[in-house]
A = this chain, B = another copy of it.
Amino acid sequence: MSHRSRLTAVLVDVPAAELDRTASFWATAIGKEPKTYDKLPEYRGYGEVTPGIEFMVQGTGDAVPRVHFDIETDDVEAEVARLKALGATEIGRHHTWVIMQDPSGTVFCVVTIQVQEMFERHATSWD
């Protein structure tokens, strides 16, 4: 069974106390008002800032800001296994997504399909 994956989102992760100020800055910087989510109050979602790439700001429990990106896939377990075999490490799970690090320690997430049409058109197939 093959599965597919694609870079789908860029997220600005900031200390929770900085969330509102940072979200307001990016609203004006990219020209889009963010959505809020009842079940995920730490997130602000700006939708696609350019076709196929969503932009979000997230309040975290960490003291320092960070940017991370998400890889969407039609099979999270298969994609996590593929990336582990290449040298990545799984460092946590949260809701439906898996938090991973590349060999240098860079953090990224593997998530379910977020932008269906762009996934169908542009995801890479892995055997």
> Which residues of A approach B to under 8 Å, CB–CB?
6-8, 10, 12, 14-15, 18, 21-22, 25-26, 28-31, 49-53, 55, 64-69, 83, 86-88, 102-108, 118, 122, 124, 126
Find A104's partner among B18, B52, B108, B118 (CB 8 Å cutoff).
Answer: B18
Q: Please name the 5 residue pairs, one residue from A and one from B, whose CB atoms are nearest each other, closest first.
A: A14-B104, A18-B104, A67-B67, A65-B106, A22-B104
Number of copies: 2
- Residue pair A124, B30 in contact (C-beta under 8 Å): yes
A111 to chain B, nearest CB (A): 14
CB distance from A5 to the nearest CB of B (A): 9
Cross-chain contact B86 with A15 (CB below 8 angstroms): no
Contacts of A126 in B (CB 8 A): 31
Whole-angstrom distance between the alpha carbons of A14 and B125 in the complex? 27
- Give every chain B residue within 8 A of A7 (Cβ-Cβ): 10, 30, 49-50, 53, 55
Contact B12 A65 (CB under 8 A): no
